[in-house]
Structure 1
Amino acid sequence: MKATARAHPIQGLVKYHGMRDEDLRLPYHDSISLCTAPTATTTTVEWQPDAAEDTFVVGGEELEDREAERVEIVTDYVRELAGFDHRVRFESENSFPSNIGFGSSSSGFAAAAMALVEAAGLDMTRPEISTVARRGSSSAARAVTGAYSVLESGYNDEDCRARRLDVGESADGFDPEEDLRIVAAHVPAYKETEEAHREAAASHMFDARLAHVHEQLDKMTDALREGTFDSIFEIAEHDSLSLTATTMTGPSAWVYWQPETIAVFNAVRELREEGVPVYFSTDTGASVYVNTKAGYADEVEKRIAEIGIDTDVWEVGGPARVLGASEALF
């Protein structure tokens, strides 16, 4: 009753903000993202019928308080589905910095859900497993199905689950799954995502966001189907600004961006004026995804590095998957 799984984190393209139901983590509206690779979370779990308690270890440290509670919620749901009350040994590692705006909770809970379900011997599709992962993080649902995925909103697990989106090749030959490069600009700054979601609806900008986000979702779906680079990532850039306007105008007035964040935005706009196909995007955090085409990645990375910011170059990642026993963490 042991399994290991790996999942890639997500970059939000049309992001969700706020939860209609905090227990089931049901968002107010659909959301679309892509997975980034080779960044990943690897998780090994083992159901232990004779153990006295669960143990949750991430990055070599045992989880406590709310972090442990969120993993326990996902674990308890798998126990319920499996019809047993075994304790679990749980260990997880990230290959990238966590909690600076690069979606570590998405890959973390996606890998957890995949490993827990596999170790329990449950026969579930990825969309079904996405409902397990969603209980830890709504974004994790899309990390289960991978690549470009949508999490559809709803009031239950039959409706609120993730699925892969159809992605086409554009008239100029750009393939969003093969030709995209993401220059990740690391801006380390602690963020508090869960509390921002909790108070989202209290922002006077929240209703304005709800009024236009459905059109954004439709436009993004069409842009992905057509494979048009500029359409996809211009929408993502604008959606990042819309999301931030909402978080900044909530009761706690969360301001995640740092001076380095703005410096990256300015560099991206300068590059675009010079004819480089490039757009910025942020989730909840100070770090920046700089989206460009494969042939321009070196030029873009060089410009961002000149600001004095650490960078990586990522590609589009696939769905969460079960690994062989040789890759187990214990």
Structure 2
Amino acid sequence: MTTATARAFPNIALVKYWGKRDERLILPDAGSLSLTLDQLATTTTVTLKDEPGDDLFALDDRPASPAAAARTSEFLDIVRQWAGDDRAAVVRSHNEAPTGAGLASSAAGFAALAMAAAAAYGLEMDSRELSRLARRGSGSACRSVVPGLAVWHAGDDQASFAEPIPGPDLRLVTAILSDRPKAMSSREAMRLSHETSPFYPAWVRSTELTLAQMQAACRVGDIERIGQLTESHALRMHAVIASSMPPVRYLAPGSLQVFDAAQQLRHDGVVAWATADAGPNVCLLTTPSDAPRVAAAVAGLGVADPDRVHVMGPGPGAALVSPEPTEEMAR
């Protein structure tokens, strides 16, 4: 197959990934756990050229930035090495989520790219192998290969992958406060925290404990405990980020209002626990029955356009879809 198209969805970590022990292999210092969503997908088409050369990468119908193009080519070099095929590729990708704004667009993007590139270059992979491959592009992408709740195991290259776990039926109410790219990428800020935060060693130890507690809560369907752990771990991550030198702050004043709204909703008897990745946008973990009330409360805050408040459920893993025409771009 010389052309393949894949679709993958973002995931939001309930137990956060923040920090690597190996930059080249993208191996985390601690495991993490996430929920793959059913909206805001990335669709990526990979078309192989007839010979080696420069790769081409278009994002949302425009040439990608030099940094994004270089990162994509570096990832494709790994695929080419694994496949024993040195042909260059044309990559076209479309993000339904804001790019680089803290809503896991890179996770969906590299999961889709891994799936499409593996198919185009003729690599036959099971879910575990594909998760390992996606991890080499973006750590959290290994979780978007997997449907629903997924745990990413810390370990060596062979043992660091994501796999699905059982759990209760959850909903995430996402509030998109900003779609502007972050001033500092997650990759840069993660490295900064690792190197400069005095709290980083404790962060790693506490994450290992939180992950074990979260998996236990998921097994028994304890939504209250899942929510407590989710919100606490998110705030710990942002505390570590803020304690870096120089300090980095991703949460905006409106983000904190959403966290406060979650606390008020709980006081009123509604299931609502807030979390945020490395960006200003906030997600509220809730149940299917409480999701409409949570969404209405967030929309009423005025910090996000009501049209940008979404109720999302568990989504599928990365999958191949019907390819789009690519002849003109491959010339």
Give TM-score, length-normalised by structure 1: 0.93
1:104 and 2:98 aligned? no
Tell me the equivalent position of 1:187: 177
Tell me the equivalent position of 2:40: 39
Counterpart residue identity of residue 71, structure 2: R
Within 1, Cα distance between the matches of 2:193 and 2:316?
A: 30
Contact 2:43 2:94 in 1 (8 A): yes
User: CA offsets per residue over residues 22-62 of structure 1, 9 Å max, x none?
Assistant: 11111111111111112210000011124642101111221
Instruction: Name whichever of 182-191 and 214-223 sits farther off.
Output: 182-191
Residue 115 of structure 1 deviates from its aligned partner by 0.3
User: CA offsets per residue over residues 221-278 of structure 1, 9 Å max, x none?
Assistant: 1111111211112111100011011100111211111110011111111111000011
Tell me the equivalent position of 1:159: 159
Contact 1:203 1:246 in 2 (8 A): yes
Report 1:55-204 matches (<5 A).
Answer: 55-156=56-157, 158-167=158-167, 175-176=168-169, 180-188=170-178, 189-191=180-182, 192-201=185-194, 202-204=196-198
Residue correspondences, number: 319
Contact 1:18 1:199 in 2 (8 A): no
Counterpart residue identity of residue 233, structure 1: G
Within 2, Cα distance between the matches of 1:74 and 1:99?
A: 18
Tell me the equivalent position of 1:321: 319
User: CA offsets per residue over residues 128-158 of structure 1, 9 Å max, x none?
Assistant: 01111111110000111231111111232x1
Contact 1:281 1:288 in 2 (8 A): yes
RMSD, aligned α-carbons: 1.6
Contact 2:45 2:91 in 1 (8 A): yes
Within 2, Cα distance between the matches of 1:328 and 1:296?
A: 44
Within 1, Cα distance between the matches of 2:317 and 2:41?
A: 11
User: CA offsets per residue over residues 85-119 of structure 1, 9 Å max, x none?
Assistant: 10101000011222221100000000000000011
Shift in alpha-carbon separation, 1:328–1:54, aligned structure 2, 3 A: closer
Within 1, Cα distance between the matches of 2:99 and 2:325?
A: 21
Give TM-score, length-normalised by structure 2: 0.92
Instruction: Name whichever of 235-244 and 304-313 sits farther off.
Output: 304-313
Within 1, Cα distance between the matches of 2:26 and 2:74?
A: 11
Contact 1:102 1:287 in 2 (8 A): yes
Tell me the equivalent position of 2:25: 24
Shift in alpha-carbon separation, 1:47–1:148, aligned structure 2, 3 A: same
Within 2, Cα distance between the matches of 1:312 and 1:328?
A: 32
Shift in alpha-carbon separation, 1:51–1:82, aligned structure 2, 3 A: closer
Counterpart residue identity of residue 310, structure 2: D
Shift in alpha-carbon separation, 1:288–1:328, aligned structure 2, 3 A: farther
Alignment gaps of 5+ in structure 2: none
Within 2, Cα distance between the matches of 1:19 and 1:71?
A: 20
Within 1, Cα distance between the matches of 2:98 and 2:162?
A: 25
Within 2, Cα distance between the matches of 1:327 and 1:60?
A: 14
Residue 328 of structure 1 deviates from its aligned partner by 7.9
Of the candidates 261, 268, 283, which is equivalent to residue 262 of structure 2? 268
